[in-house]
């Protein structure tokens, strides 16, 4: 809050007392009664009124003192936040304007902020000011603005007598210790503002203010200028009370009561009782207070120091100008400047650091030239000392190093020479730790380091005595190979001349080798070294016209790192990550320039082979070429260890190399599969590997799967995974997707894992079928003879009347016949085609084999798409002629993946046939087929009834051999069942067929998966019973594009249609000789089942 004034440099006045009315109140009472025009009403109320008051001393009141002059005046001085200074006095009045009651009068001078520095040098004018004693209403409400503060004529003129201060302090019982404490307290309170100072002088109450004013003159003379600008005081108060802007108060005796919580944290000086603060001041480290006390007899001598201190603190932060510590420093500087160098020796570090703090701001070397001169004079003293072979204090040298940043131009060469002497003295004086610290101090400042070592490296004596021992120690102390490289790099960049120093290059190579031998793991450390050396290609050597990577030193470091790697390599300790990260191994010339000794050549080959194996995407078995078997075995052992936790399709090729025999060119298939079985988390990964392997040269060739791999697969399934093929999910996702060669292997393995009976039937199928046919034929012949004998009465019975045989039942023939045919093309390659014979042109025309699946009897499935086909579609029908009994029955059912069954058909014989006219002696014969039934139980054989008739011709019909798959039963069981179909004999030529379903734990499947009903075809040559015969007049030939095994009984699926594969002979027999189709292609070898 500020004053309002037209003349900002003039001093304003204000008088406050008790009157009939005042400026701010119309009734009687205490108020401002007169003011200068420049004062603002708010300023008066907020800033001045709180200091308008007076409490008379208790002792004077108690004795009823009537003399106003006996009451001590209360002089106050403080500085407002706006910078104005208020100087005032309050005096006691025994009677007011009425003469009936006591009052007081306060007279204030308000000095504007523009004149705040007056108190610095004219503080006595403030302390000896003259004030109004009373207010006379006749002077009015307006007080004049003043040019100067009026002076009290009673005070002596300028200057204090020489002995006045000493005499005053003695009278006030202020000895050296107490006075220093009081001055310390006043400076701290005014500078920091946290504590107040309360002083109770041991003088009569009437003299309190006078003694306080005298003591204040002494204190002001001892205070630096900045603290004079801030100190606020009151020369008399009745009781101690904290007040804003007031730092020092003089109180009535007896008012400073012990244990008063209001003031216990402040500075209390009760001189009457001798109670003063004891724990704030360190007596032995107060150079400023010591200087003041020495000048107490002639305080005018301190003015020169105060001017010096104020000048040195100009431009510093405000807080520093208030701290007592600043004046401690400056007092020492002031005395050293005056020639007291003993203070420098005692406070050497304080002096140097203090001087630097004043000289560091920009422009300070010129503005504080007196301090700069003191610093340089201190340096000269220290330089003279090291020339005398004295060993310097490291902290002192650090101060000189820091000064180098401020003035390197004129001071630099002096400091370099000083450091050369200092380091040399430390080395000669057997103080290596100090020498090391001095070297570090030099290197801590790049510009200083460059100047210092450039000078040292130019002098051979200094080079050998100061540089080489130091760089050797620095390289030896490096914490690893990386730090060695950093040291070398930084030195070459800062001092390219070191590349000409043989000792430096030798020490660097030796240190790198030593650190690398201790590095673990070694390979990443060597890779780091080589990678850093490569990056040195971005570092030019300024005086050599090349990069650092091209230098002889870099080449020697590279060869050293590689040599250590080959000498110290422990292959078993390598990890896959280390090999993959070592990119330098990818270069063919990675180890160029080395002369290999002992095992070094082997280590090179092994490292590069391992890198190619694990870092390259596709590695071949050629990586082992030329390597000794022992090394290959060691590498493969390591590779197996690395890969055991990451078995996945992307790594199958790498895993195979771990089991590859470079001598034989074969793979240890059994060991490979055992390895996969031990380390994979699930079986699916192994099945994925099997599917992957069928396309790899090491596992399959033109003739199929490698036999030893086949044996290993069989061993795997027998040993570890016997139930694999019983899992429908595995079959669908993996086994059914195998190509033909691997599918054949899976079929063989599946058979090996099946029941002994099924394996017997599979291995002796032809013999069993022939035996069954012969047995069945014999039974039929015997049955026929018995029947003839019975009819002729040879068995003793009357010959029964002959009854006309019932006509044969109509047999439904399939509309589509399918068989597989192998064809050799113009290039001599053999491919497989599916030939489909259609009974009608409509189905032939709509047939579209865009995608075909072939499910073999062993349930393996092959998928084909985008196939080429030729179609011949024509309409045609025929009628029956001579009849031939041709019966076939087959069926296959599947109970569960754990059950197997076989079925076979027996051949029957017919005694006669009929063509609808006349004749005798006709016979018909059919051969039964076989079917596999997956149910559990046993089958029975039934024979058809014999019929008789007359026929003029004899024909033979052959039954087809088909196999189909029925519906899956929900339960499992193991066993075998046989479905047998036998052809009966009859005079009408009708083939009788009967089949029984298997019985057992599982439900038998449909006898024919392709055609739910039993297949029975009649082909007539002529007309019998008015039958119409199917004529297969349309043909579609579908090329599978490769040679494929399509066993008889396989199910062909095209869209939602299913067809069962039969033999070519059976298909042609059913089609008959009357077919209207074009001639078929020349027959080639039939597709092998």
Q: What is the CATH number of the domain that holds 871?
A: 2.60.40
The answer to whether residue 579 scores a pLDDT higher than 70 is yes
Q: Report pLDDT for 914.
A: 36
Domain shared by 169 and 131, yes or no: no
Cα(772)–Cα(776) distance, integer angstroms: 6
Over its C-alpha atoms, the chain yields an Rg (Å, rounded) of 62
Whether 119 is covered by a domain: the verdict is: yes
pLDDT digits (tens, 9 = 90+) for 255-281: 999 888 888 899 999 998 889 987 767
Whether 53 is covered by a domain: the verdict is: yes
**Both ends of the chain: CA-CA distance in Å?**
116
* Mean pLDDT of all residues in 865-878: 72
Domain shared by 122 and 198, yes or no: no
Encoded tokens for 889: 């029955």
Cα(1069)–Cα(774) distance, integer angstroms: 23
Whether 1038 is covered by a domain: the verdict is: yes
Give DSSP secondary structure letters for 225-276: HHHHTT--EEEEESS----TT--EEEE-TT-S-TT-TTTTTSEEEETTTTB-
pLDDT digits (tens, 9 = 90+) for 916-958: 333 333 333 333 333 333 333 333 333 333 333 333 333 333 3
* Mean pLDDT of all residues in 159-182: 83
Encoded tokens for 395: 């902290």
Q: Report pLDDT for 391.
A: 93
Instruction: Decide which of 430, 458, 486 is a domain's last residue.
Output: 458
Higher pLDDT, 813 or 465: 465
Domain shared by 350 and 410, yes or no: yes
Q: What is the pTM of this model?
A: 0.56
User: Confidence band (pLDDT; 50, 70, 90) for 534?
Assistant: very high
Whether 1073 is covered by a domain: the verdict is: yes
Cα(682)–Cα(680) distance, integer angstroms: 6
Q: What percent of the chain has pLDDT over 70?
A: 80
Q: Report pLDDT for 1028.
A: 54
Q: Positive or negative, the Cα torsion across 587, 588, 590, 592?
A: negative
CATH number at 199 reads 3.40.50
**Among the listed ranges 110-114, 205-209, 428-432, which one has the minimum average pLDDT value?**
428-432
C-alpha dihedral over 151, 152, 154, 158, to 10 degrees?
-20
Instruction: Decide which of 428, 458, 488 is a domain's last residue.
Output: 458
Do residues 709 and 656 make contact, with C-beta atoms less than 8 angstroms apart? no
Q: Report pLDDT for 1022.
A: 38
Q: Report pLDDT for 329.
A: 94
Q: Report pLDDT for 484.
A: 96
User: Confidence band (pLDDT; 50, 70, 90) for 157?
Assistant: low
Q: Report pLDDT for 862.
A: 86
Overall number of domains in the chain: 4
Cα(951)–Cα(916) distance, integer angstroms: 7
Domain shared by 84 and 180, yes or no: no
Q: Report pLDDT for 168.
A: 94
Q: Report pLDDT for 203.
A: 95
Q: What percent of the chain has pLDDT over 90?
A: 55
Cα(646)–Cα(653) distance, integer angstroms: 12
Find, among 360, 359, 351, the residue nearest to 395 by Cα.
Answer: 351
Measured CA to CA in angstroms, residue 706 lies from 46, 697, 702, 745 at distances of 110, 9, 10, 10
Q: How many CA within 13 A on the CB side of residue 623?
A: 28
Q: Report pLDDT for 811.
A: 52
User: Confidence band (pLDDT; 50, 70, 90) for 741?
Assistant: very high
Domain shared by 264 and 393, yes or no: no
- Each as own residue / partner, the long-range contacts of residues 259-264 (CB below 8 Å, 24 or more positions apart, any chain) are 263/196, 263/198
User: Confidence band (pLDDT; 50, 70, 90) for 769?
Assistant: confident
Q: Report pLDDT for 161.
A: 46
**b/e sequence 767-788, b meaning 16+ C-beta within 10 Å:** eebeebbeebbebbeebbeebe
3-state SS class at 306: helix
pLDDT digits (tens, 9 = 90+) for 498-527: 999 999 999 999 999 999 999 999 999 999
Cα(223)–Cα(245) distance, integer angstroms: 17
**Among the listed ranges 104-108, 350-354, 543-547, which one has the minimum average pLDDT value?**
543-547
Whether 406 is covered by a domain: the verdict is: yes
Do residues 830 and 1041 make contact, with C-beta atoms less than 8 angstroms apart? no
Most distant CA pair in the chain, distance:
187
Give DSSP secondary structure letters for 121-182: H-HHHHHTB---S---GGG-SEE--BSS--B-TTS--SS--TTHHHHHHHHTT--HHHHHHH
Domain shared by 133 and 169, yes or no: no
User: Confidence band (pLDDT; 50, 70, 90) for 578?
Assistant: very high
Encoded tokens for 27: 């009734």
Q: Report pLDDT for 357.
A: 94
- Each as own residue / partner, the long-range contacts of residues 144-149 (CB below 8 Å, 24 or more positions apart, any chain) are 144/13, 144/36, 145/5, 145/7, 145/10, 145/11, 145/12, 145/13, 145/36, 145/37, 145/38, 146/10, 146/11, 146/13, 146/109, 147/10, 147/11, 148/11, 149/11, 149/87, 149/109, 149/111, 149/125
Whether 485 is covered by a domain: the verdict is: no
Residue ranges of alpha helices (H) inside 338-431 are 342-346, 348-359, 364-367, 369-387, 394-404, 408-428
Any idea what DSSP says for residue 728?
H
Domain shared by 128 and 229, yes or no: no
Measured CA to CA in angstroms, residue 474 lies from 428, 441, 456, 483 at distances of 19, 14, 17, 10
pLDDT digits (tens, 9 = 90+) for 601-652: 999 999 999 999 999 888 888 999 989 999 999 999 999 999 999 899 999 9
Do residues 836 and 1038 make contact, with C-beta atoms less than 8 angstroms apart? yes
Q: Report pLDDT for 404.
A: 92
Any idea what DSSP says for residue 1087?
P
Q: Report pLDDT for 409.
A: 83
* Mean pLDDT of all residues in 1001-1013: 37
Do residues 347 and 332 make contact, with C-beta atoms less than 8 angstroms apart? yes
User: Confidence band (pLDDT; 50, 70, 90) for 335?
Assistant: very high
3-state SS class at 13: strand
Q: Report pLDDT for 788.
A: 83
Domain shared by 106 and 197, yes or no: no
**Among the listed ranges 495-499, 768-772, 970-974, which one has the minimum average pLDDT value?**
970-974
Cα(772)–Cα(52) distance, integer angstroms: 143
Q: Report pLDDT for 770.
A: 81
Cα(973)–Cα(900) distance, integer angstroms: 8
Domain shared by 282 and 374, yes or no: no
Domain shared by 131 and 181, yes or no: no
Instruction: Decide which of 422, 440, 458 is a domain's last residue.
Output: 458
User: Confidence band (pLDDT; 50, 70, 90) for 113?
Assistant: very high
Whether 674 is covered by a domain: the verdict is: no
Encoded tokens for 310: 């104020």
User: Confidence band (pLDDT; 50, 70, 90) for 812?
Assistant: low
Whether 520 is covered by a domain: the verdict is: no
Higher pLDDT, 77 or 1022: 77
C-alpha 1070: how far from chain center = 75
- Each as own residue / partner, the long-range contacts of residues 743-749 (CB below 8 Å, 24 or more positions apart, any chain) are 743/860, 743/862, 744/704, 744/705, 744/1045, 745/704, 745/705, 745/710, 745/713, 746/860, 747/856, 747/858, 747/860, 748/710, 748/714, 749/713, 749/714, 749/717, 749/725
Domain shared by 133 and 172, yes or no: no
Cα(749)–Cα(740) distance, integer angstroms: 14
Residue 704 gets the label, from left (phi > 0), alpha (psi -120 to 50) or beta, of left
Q: Report pLDDT for 138.
A: 84
Structural domain range at position 397 = 341-458
Measured CA to CA in angstroms, residue 550 lies from 494, 560, 563 at distances of 17, 16, 19
Find, among 384, 308, 375, 313, the residue nearest to 344 by Cα.
Answer: 375
Residue 475 gets the label, from left (phi > 0), alpha (psi -120 to 50) or beta, of alpha
Domain shared by 63 and 177, yes or no: no
How big is the CA angle at 223 (ends 217 and 225), to the nearest 5 degrees?
A: 110
Q: Report pLDDT for 282.
A: 74
User: Confidence band (pLDDT; 50, 70, 90) for 98?
Assistant: confident
β 248-251/197-200 pair status:
parallel
pLDDT digits (tens, 9 = 90+) for 666-687: 999 999 999 999 999 899 999 9
Cα(968)–Cα(289) distance, integer angstroms: 113
Q: Report pLDDT for 796.
A: 55
Phi, psi of 789 (to 5 degrees): -65, -40
Do residues 992 and 908 make contact, with C-beta atoms less than 8 angstroms apart? yes
């Amino acid at each position: 809050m500020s004053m309002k004034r037209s003349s900002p440099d003039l001093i304003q006045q204000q008088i406050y007392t008790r009157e009939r009315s005042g400026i701010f109140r119309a009734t009687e009472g205490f108020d401002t009664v007169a003011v200068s025009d420049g004062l603002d009403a708010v300023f008066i109320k907020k800033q001045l009124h709180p200091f308008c008051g007076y409490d008379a001393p208790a002792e004077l009141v108690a004795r009823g003192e009537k003399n106003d002059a006996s009451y001590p005046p209360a002089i106050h001085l403080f500085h407002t936040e706006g910078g104005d200074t208020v100087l005032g006095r309050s005096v006691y009045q025994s009677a007011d304007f009425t003469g009936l009651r006591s009052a007081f009068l306060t007279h204030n001078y308000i000095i504007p902020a523009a004149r705040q520095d007056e108190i610095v040098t004219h503080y006595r004018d403030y302390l000896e000011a003259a004030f109004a004693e009373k207010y006379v209403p006749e002077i009015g409400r307006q007080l004049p603005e003043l040019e100067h503060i009026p002076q009290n004529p009673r005070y002596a003129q300028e200057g204090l007598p020489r002995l006045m201060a000493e005499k005053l302090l003695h009278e006030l019982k202020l000895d050296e210790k107490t006075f220093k404490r009081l001055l310390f307290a006043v400076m701290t309170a005014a500078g920091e503002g946290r504590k107040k100072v309360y002083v109770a002088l041991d003088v009569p109450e009437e003299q309190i203010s006078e003694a306080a004013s005298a003591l204040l003159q002494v204190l002001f003379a001892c205070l630096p200028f900045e603290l004079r600008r801030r100190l606020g005081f009151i020369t008399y108060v009745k009781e101690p009370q904290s007040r804003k802007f007031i730092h020092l108060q003089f109180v009535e005796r007896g008012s400073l009561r012990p244990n008063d919580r209001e003031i216990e944290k402040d500075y209390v000086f009760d001189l009457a009782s001798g109670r003063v603060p004891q724990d704030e001041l360190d007596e032995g480290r107060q150079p400023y207070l010591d200087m003041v006390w020495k000048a107490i007899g002639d305080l005018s001598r301190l003015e020169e120091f105060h001017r010096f201190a104020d000048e040195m603190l100009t431009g510093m932060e405000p807080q520093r100008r208030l701290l007592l510590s600043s004046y401690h420093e400056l007092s020492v500087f002031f005395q050293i400047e005056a020639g007291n160098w003993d203070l420098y020796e005692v406070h050497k570090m304080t002096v140097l650091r203090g001087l630097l703090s004043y000289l560091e701001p920009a422009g300070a070397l010129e503005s504080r030239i007196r301090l700069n001169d003191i610093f340089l004079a201190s340096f000269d003293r220290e330089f003279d000392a090291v020339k005398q072979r004295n060993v310097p204090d490291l902290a002192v040298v650090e101060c000189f190093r820091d000064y180098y940043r401020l003035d390197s131009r004129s001071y630099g060469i002096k400091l370099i020479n000083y450091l050369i002497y200092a380091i040399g003295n430390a080395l000669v004086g057997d103080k290596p730790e100090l020498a090391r610290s001095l070297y570090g101090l030099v290197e801590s400042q790049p510009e200083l380091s460059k100047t210092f070592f450039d000078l040292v490296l130019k002098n051979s004596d200094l080079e050998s005595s100061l540089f080489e021992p130091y760089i050797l120690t620095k390289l030896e102390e490096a914490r690893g190979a990386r730090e060695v490289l950093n040291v070398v790099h930084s030195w070459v960049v800062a001092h390219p001349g070191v590349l000409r120093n043989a000792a430096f290059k030798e020490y660097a190579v030796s240190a790198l080798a030593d650190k690398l031998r201790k590095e673990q793991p070694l390979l990443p450390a060597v890779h780091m070294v080589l990678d850093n050396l490569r990056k040195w290609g971005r570092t030019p050597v300024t005086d050599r016209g090349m990069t650092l990577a091209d230098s002889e030193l870099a080449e020697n470091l590279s060869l050293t790192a590689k040599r250590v790697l080959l000498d110290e390599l422990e292959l078993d300790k390598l990890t896959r990550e280390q090999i993959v990260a070592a990119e330098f191994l990818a270069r063919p010339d990675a180890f160029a320039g080395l002369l290999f000794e002992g095992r070094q050549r082997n280590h090179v080959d092994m490292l590069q082979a391992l890198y190619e194996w694990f870092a390259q995407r596709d590695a071949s078995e050629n990586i082992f070429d030329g390597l000794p078997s022992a090394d290959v075995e060691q590498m493969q052992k390591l590779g197996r260890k690395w890969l055991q936790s990451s078995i996945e399709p992307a790594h199958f090729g790498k895993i195979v190399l771990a089991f590859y025999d470079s001598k034989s060119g074969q793979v240890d298939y059994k060991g490979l599969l055992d390895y996969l079985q031990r380390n994979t988390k699930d079986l699916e990964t192994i099945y994925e590997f099997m599917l992957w392997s069928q396309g790899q040269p090491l596992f399959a060739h033109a003739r199929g799967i490698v036999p030893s791999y086949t044996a290993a697969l069989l061993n795997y399934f027998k040993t570890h995974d016997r139930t694999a093929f019983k899992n429908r999910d595995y079959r669908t996702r993996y086994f059914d997707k195998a190509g033909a060669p691997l599918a054949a292997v899976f079929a063989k393995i599946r058979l090996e894992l099946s029941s002994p009976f099924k394996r017997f039937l599979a291995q002796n199928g032809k013999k069993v079928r022939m035996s069954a046919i012969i047995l069945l034929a014999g039974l039929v012949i015997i049955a026929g003879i018995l029947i003839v004998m019975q009819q002729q009465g040879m068995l003793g019975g009357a010959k029964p009347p002959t009854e006309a045989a019932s006509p044969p039942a109509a047999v439904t023939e399939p509309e589509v016949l399918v068989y597989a045919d192998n064809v050799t093309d113009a290039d001599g390659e053999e491919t497989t085609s599916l030939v489909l014979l259609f009974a009608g042109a409509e189905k032939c025309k709509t047939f579209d084999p865009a995608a075909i699946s072939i499910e073999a009897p062993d349930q393996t499935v092959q998928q084909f798409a985008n196939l080429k086909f030729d179609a011949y579609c024509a309409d045609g029908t025929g009628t029956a002629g001579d009849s031939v009994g041709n019966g076939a029955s087959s069926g296959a059912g599947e109970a569960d993946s754990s059950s197997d069954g076989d079925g076979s058909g027996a051949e029957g014989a017919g005694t006669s046939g009929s063509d609808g006219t006349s004749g005798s002696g006709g016979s018909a014969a059919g051969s039964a087929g076989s079917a596999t039934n997956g149910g559990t139980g046993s089958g029975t054989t039934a024979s058809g009834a014999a019929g008789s008739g007359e026929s003029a011709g004899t024909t033979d019909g052959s039954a087809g051999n088909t196999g189909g798959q029925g519906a899956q039963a929900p339960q499992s069981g193991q066993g075998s069942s046989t479905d047998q179909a036998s052809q009966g004999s009859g005079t009408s030529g009708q083939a009788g067929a009967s089949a029984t379903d298997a019985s057992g734990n599982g439900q038998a499947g449909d006898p024919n998966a392709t055609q739910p009903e039993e297949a029975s075809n009649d082909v007539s040559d002529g007309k019998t019973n008015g039958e119409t015969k199917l004529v297969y007049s349309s043909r579609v030939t579908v090329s599978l594009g490769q040679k494929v095994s399509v066993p008889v009984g396989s199910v062909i699926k095209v869209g939602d249609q299913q067809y069962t594969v039969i033999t070519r002979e059976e298909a042609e027999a059913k089609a008959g000789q009357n077919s209207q189709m074009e001639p078929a292609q020349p027959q080639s070898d039939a597709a092998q089942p």
